[in-house]
């Protein structure tokens, strides 16, 4: 039986536009058509998921593109069932490309009798026959250790750095990178180092989950262009309160860069009515029409970096090279306008 010598992509329903964009980028790189494997991922009337692959995948290097975003359980089950279908069809290797890894916030026991759901999900992914995971900006870096298979965790900060240096090129000396909490300092520091900017922290204290009781700004933000950096924006409550608090402390203007635009519930309404001059998200989660139509939200594509990472994995070359600006600049050439 002959096999092709190109990586093969397959996608669930979680973010089909991203999967098609990755396929297009890979086609440009390879000079041959890299399309999505013809398959159907459907539901029976009772909600059960059914997968059928219409192409031969025996001996192929398969990449499943499927973020486990809302609805998290449905999209996770699609991923697992697609992996099982490919494994039973004798695929040579199965890599899960999970741009947004759901359940990542449950990475430790915060109190008695609570689960570590991220570890459970990792176990399920491995048991389904997936041999490698490619993701972006895990909520907690230690989640890589939950897997007994290789995990490549890409970072959005190198891409954000290119955008910041383009958008604020005439005012870079006034830019202040801000972490919205103490736990995100490492992520914010990484971006600050890349653009040679100072770092500030908004220390928040919660009375209960989802509600912030008190905020304190650590660092001098007076007359600064503050750029809040976070890995995800869910209901946007904390983000908008942090932006307002920075303005109250003398910031000239506030912008936000967040990798995963979860955008649940009142998020769009809050961002629209907030003091945020702009908010930049990526398309790791498929944006809704409301998000796309919000004037102060801008979306940066991740297809260029995921396409290159997939090719590097397939070729057996370095994925960490994508963390370097000289590698990323040609990949994103022409993407960042003024």
pLDDT of the chain along its 338 residues, tens only?
Answer: 444 568 999 999 999 999 999 999 999 888 788 889 999 999 999 999 999 999 999 999 999 999 999 999 999 999 999 999 999 999 999 999 999 999 999 999 988 999 999 999 999 999 999 999 999 999 988 999 999 999 999 999 999 999 999 999 999 999 999 999 888 999 999 999 999 999 999 987 665 555 556 788 999 999 999 999 999 999 999 899 999 999 999 999 999 999 999 999 999 999 999 999 999 999 999 999 999 999 999 999 999 999 999 999 999 999 999 998 888 888 987 776 54
Active site residue 204: yes
The rounded distance, in Å, linking the Cα atoms of 24 and 307 is 9
Q: Is domain 8-155+303-331 in CATH 3.40.50.300, yes or no?
A: no
**What is the structure's pLDDT at 335?**
75
User: Of the listed 204, 241, 277, 292, which one is catalytic?
Assistant: 204
The domains spanning 8-155+303-331 and 157-300 adopt the same CATH topology: yes
CATH architecture of 157-300: 3-Layer(aba) Sandwich (3.40)
Which residues, including other chains, have CB under 8 Å from residue 136's CB and lie 6 or more apart? 99, 100, 153, 154, 155, 156, 259, 282, 284, 302, 305, 306
Provide the pLDDT for residue 289: 96
> Per the annotation, where are the binding residues for D-ribose 5-phosphate?
206, 230, 234-238
Binding site per annotation, positions? 46-48, 105-106, 139, 181, 206, 230, 234-238
Specify whether the CB–CB gap between 104 and 138 falls below 8 A: yes
CA distance 331 to 140: 27
Rounded to whole angstroms, what are the CA distances from 116 to 112, 147, 281, 334?
Answer: 11, 13, 27, 42
Which is nearest to 136 in space by CA: 121, 153, 117? Answer: 153
Contacts of 62 (CB under 8 A, 6+ apart): 7, 8, 9, 10, 37, 86, 91, 92, 93, 94, 95
Task: For the chain, give every domain's residue range.
Answer: 8-155+303-331, 157-300
Residue 275 confidence (pLDDT)? 97
Residues 6+ away with beta carbon under 8 Å from 189? 177, 179, 199
Task: Tell me the binding residues for Mg(2+).
Answer: 139, 181
């Amino acid at each position: 039986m002959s096999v092709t010598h190109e990586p093969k992509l397959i996608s669930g329903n979680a973010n089909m536009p991203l999967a098609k964009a990755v396929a297009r980028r890979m086609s440009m790189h390879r000079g041959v058509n890299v399309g999505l494997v013809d398959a159907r991922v459907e539901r029976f009337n009772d909600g059960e998921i059914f997968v059928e692959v219409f192409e031969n995948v025996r001996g192929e290097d398969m990449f499943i593109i499927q973020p486990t975003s809302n609805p998290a359980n449905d999209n996770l089950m699609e991923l697992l069932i697609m992996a099982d279908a490919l494994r039973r069809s004798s695929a040579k290797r199965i890599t899960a490309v999970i741009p947004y890894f759901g359940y990542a916030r449950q990475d430790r026991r915060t109190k008695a009798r609570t689960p570590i759901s991220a570890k459970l999900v990792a176990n399920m992914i491995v048991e389904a026959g997936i041999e490698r995971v490619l993701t972006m900006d895990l909520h907690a870096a230690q989640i890589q250790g939950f897997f007994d298979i290789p995990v490549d965790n890409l970072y959005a900060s190198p891409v954000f750095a290119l955008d910041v240096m383009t958008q604020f090129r005439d005012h870079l000396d006034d830019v202040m990178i801000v972490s919205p909490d103490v736990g995100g300092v490492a992520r914010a520091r990484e971006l600050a180092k890349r653009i040679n900017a100072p770092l500030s922290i908004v220390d928040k204290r919660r009375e209960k989950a989802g509600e912030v009781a008190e905020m304190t700004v650590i660092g001098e933000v007076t007359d600064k262009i503050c750029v809040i950096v976070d890995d995800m924006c869910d209901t946007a409550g904390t983000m908008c309160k942090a932006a307002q608090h920075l303005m109250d402390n003398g910031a000239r203007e506030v912008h936000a860069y967040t990798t995963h635009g979860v955008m649940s519930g009142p998020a769009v309404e809050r961002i629209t009515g907030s003091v945020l001059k702009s908010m930049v998200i990526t398309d790791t989660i498929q944006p809704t029409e409301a998000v796309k139509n919000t004037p102060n939200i801008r979306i940066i594509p991740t297809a260029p970096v995921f396409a290159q990472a997939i090719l590097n994995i397939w070729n057996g070359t370095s994925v960490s090279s994508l963390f370097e600006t000289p590698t990323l600049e040609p990949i994103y050439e022409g993407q960042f306008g003024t």
